[in-house]
Amino acid sequence: MQPSLRAIILTELLVPLALLVFGAYHGVLQVLYRAGAIRATSFGGIDYYQGLTAHGVINAIVLTTMFAVALGHALVSQELESPLSIFGAGLSLGLMLIGAVMAAAMIFLGKATVLYTFYPPLKAHPIFYLGLALFIVGSWIALFTWIPVYLRWRKSHPGQKTPLAVVGMFATFIIWQMATLPVAYEVLVMLLPWSLGWTPGVNVVLSRTLFWFFGHPLVYFWLLPIYVLYYTMLPRLAGGKLFSDFAGRLSFMAFIVLSCPLGLHHQFADPGIPASWKAVQTVLTLMVAIPSMLTAFTLAASLEHAAHQRGGSGLFGWWKALPYFSHENWLFPYLFCGLVIFLFGGITGIINASYNMNSVIHNTAWIPAHFHLTVAGPVFLGILGMSLFLITGLLNKPVAAIPTALAVPYIWMIGTFTFSTGLFIGGLRGEPRRTNLGLTYLNPASPSYRPDWWISTHIGAIGGVIMGFAILLYFVVLIRSLLAPARVNVAPFTIPLSEAYHDENVASVRNFTPWVTVAVVLCVAAYYVPMRDIIRSKYQPAPAYSPGSAVPLANVR
């Protein structure tokens, strides 16, 4: 790998991991506020909602995006055997860093307490919105550096299948490109002028609809780099081969088509959008679960094949033969535990998507329970494991304290399951999300005290503390690995990728263009009428609010 590219990738991995210290700290504080262990509006000089914003923006936006770009750089340059434009990769990194610093500074100064969804009428400082815009543009540039390399590769390898890892990374960034255009419009044309005081208010329905057009594909942008690891690394780490190459390609192409036209399932409770269009997008949402189910069966078959290679046998007995605690394959449990967690994240997603059941759990603690089994499950564990793998590999260092490194994903899994159990139970009993419960519902001195929420919030708190402990152990491993002396005389670092057991050659999944075309047509079909109605409606512009008060900011003295 080009030395400059190596430096860029290392920066893209290490900077967000350093920020994760704050992201994780504010996660642990959240469960303590919610369980009533902290009964205050702020802790350590940071307000509850400010901390929640830092937690969401750092963990769900900065960490995930910079990891996806770093992984893409590493896989595209390795698999297409070609140098990348250092100018492009450097510009991408520079813009993302500047954007992240601008957004983080505003959050920590208390001028962007708008949560990671930043939807109005919560209002942030213009620098926060500009930072977000620069961050997104930086991530776009990564894709633009890969496209010429890919086109050159296709020309020089006529008739050859594009490596699956590259297909997966391109699918990820095609979805990102489609998803971020509406949110760029929202940020630059609606929120920024409002924040600068050039417009009196914002059309909240339009803004939320543009946000969720982005917000749902965003979750697949988080997930797909990890699917790349599942399809291309996990079978080999397990000691076998990918059961079907076609399944992987079909799954990535299906995500391109189905990731965007279904954001309305986050707006089932929003007024101003006809129920009929919410129903249409419900059907599409249920369809987007299909590529994940395809992935579940393909990976289970791949794991079974690998287990048989390792001497496993029997209808279920083969599960015992997988390398759960192997020192050589310490990365395996990071991916495997993520899969186990995702089974439950996926099932609860289908419950959320079921229009009428959604009304029971919308805006309750159930929702963070669901998404901590998705983004904080497979995605986060994949990022932790693969970052450690890439950082130590690129620096030629050994992974230190391997038993501790092996323990991290299992402790994390126990933590997420405990945390989510508490929040699922609480959610079903009406416990709200994004609420400082310690001040009210978990405060015996408050008239709104809910003693029946004590158990669920405390189960959640125990889970959150276990998760915090797992991250602490991870940092011990990372720092000790960074401090270890570099190895000499080792073979150049490459990412080990799996061969395919069934290496099918199916023409329909070899070209992105038809899939992107169908995706665009489907987006127009699913969004044209609701968007037209929202734009035509003359909603009163909303004044700015802060999340801690029901009174518009202008009326707060």
Write out the two tokens for 474: 């991870």
State the angle between helix axes of 275-309 and 204-232 in degrees (0 to 180), rounded to the nearest 10: 10
Contact between residue 154 and residue 126 where contact means Cβ atoms under 8 Å apart: no
For ligand HAS, the binding residue among 374, 392, 418, 436 (CB under 6 A) is: 374
Can you tell me the distance from the alpha carbon of 274 to that of 281, in angstroms, rounded to the nearest whole number?
11
Looking only at residues 86 through 145 of this chain, which bind ligand HAS when binding is defined by CB under 6 A?
Answer: 117
Does the footprint of ligand HAS cover residue 371 (CB under 6 A)?
yes
Does the footprint of ligand HAS cover residue 498 (CB under 6 A)?
no
Within 320-362, where are the H helices? 332-353, 355-361
Identify which range of 33-41, 72-80, 295-303, 506-514 contacts ligand HAS by CB under 6 A: 295-303
Contact between residue 214 and residue 183 where contact means Cβ atoms under 8 Å apart: yes
Does the footprint of ligand HAS cover residue 39 (CB under 6 A)?
no
Does the footprint of ligand HAS cover residue 292 (CB under 6 A)?
yes
Identify which range of 94-102, 138-146, 350-358, 484-492 contacts ligand HAS by CB under 6 A: 350-358
Tell me which residue has tokens 């690891």.
Answer: 229
Q: What is the DSSP string of 31-47?
A: HHHHTTSS-SSEETTEE
Provide the minimum distance between the beta carbon of 486 and ligand HAS in the complex, in angstroms, as a whole number: 35
CA dihedral angle for residue 108, residue 110, residue 115, residue 118, rounded to 10 degrees: -110
Q: Give me the active site residues, please.
A: 216, 220, 370-372, 433-434
Give the DSSP H/E element, type plus range, for residue 220: helix 204-232
DSSP-derived secondary structure letter, 545: B
Does the footprint of ligand HAS cover residue 367 (CB under 6 A)?
yes
Can you tell me the distance from the alpha carbon of 7 to that of 14, in angstroms, rounded to the nearest whole number?
10
For ligand HAS, the binding residue among 239, 349, 427, 464 (CB under 6 A) is: 349
- Tell the burial category of 540 from Cβ atoms under 10 Å away from its Cβ (0-12, 13-18, 19+): exposed
Contact between residue 474 and residue 385 where contact means Cβ atoms under 8 Å apart: no
Helices and strands in the chain: count of H runs, count of E runs: 18, 4
For ligand HAS, the binding residue among 59, 209, 251, 285 (CB under 6 A) is: 285
Contact between residue 130 and residue 64 where contact means Cβ atoms under 8 Å apart: no
Provide the minimum distance between the beta carbon of 230 and ligand HAS in the complex, in angstroms, as a whole number: 8
* φ, ψ for residue 87, nearest 5 deg: -60, -50
Nearer to ligand HAS, 63 or 84 (CB): 63
Identify any residues that bridge with 432 across adjacent strands, giving them in sequence order. Answer: 364
Provide the minimum distance between the beta carbon of 363 and ligand HAS in the complex, in angstroms, as a whole number: 7
Does the footprint of ligand HAS cover residue 228 (CB under 6 A)?
no
Provide the minimum distance between the beta carbon of 199 and ligand HAS in the complex, in angstroms, as a whole number: 26
For ligand HAS, the binding residue among 206, 339, 405, 461 (CB under 6 A) is: 339
Q: Which amino acid is at 49?
A: Y
For ligand HAS, the binding residue among 77, 295, 481, 546 (CB under 6 A) is: 295
Identify which range of 270-278, 308-316, 340-348, 472-480 contacts ligand HAS by CB under 6 A: 340-348
Provide the minimum distance between the beta carbon of 353 and ligand HAS in the complex, in angstroms, as a whole number: 3
For ligand HAS, the binding residue among 63, 234, 307, 353 (CB under 6 A) is: 353
Does the footprint of ligand HAS cover residue 207 (CB under 6 A)?
no
Nearer to ligand HAS, 150 or 246 (CB): 246
Which residues of this chain interact with ligand HAS, rule CB under 6 A?
A: 117, 219, 222-223, 265-266, 285, 288-289, 292-293, 295-296, 299-300, 339-340, 342-343, 346, 349-350, 352-353, 358, 362, 367, 370-371, 374-375, 379
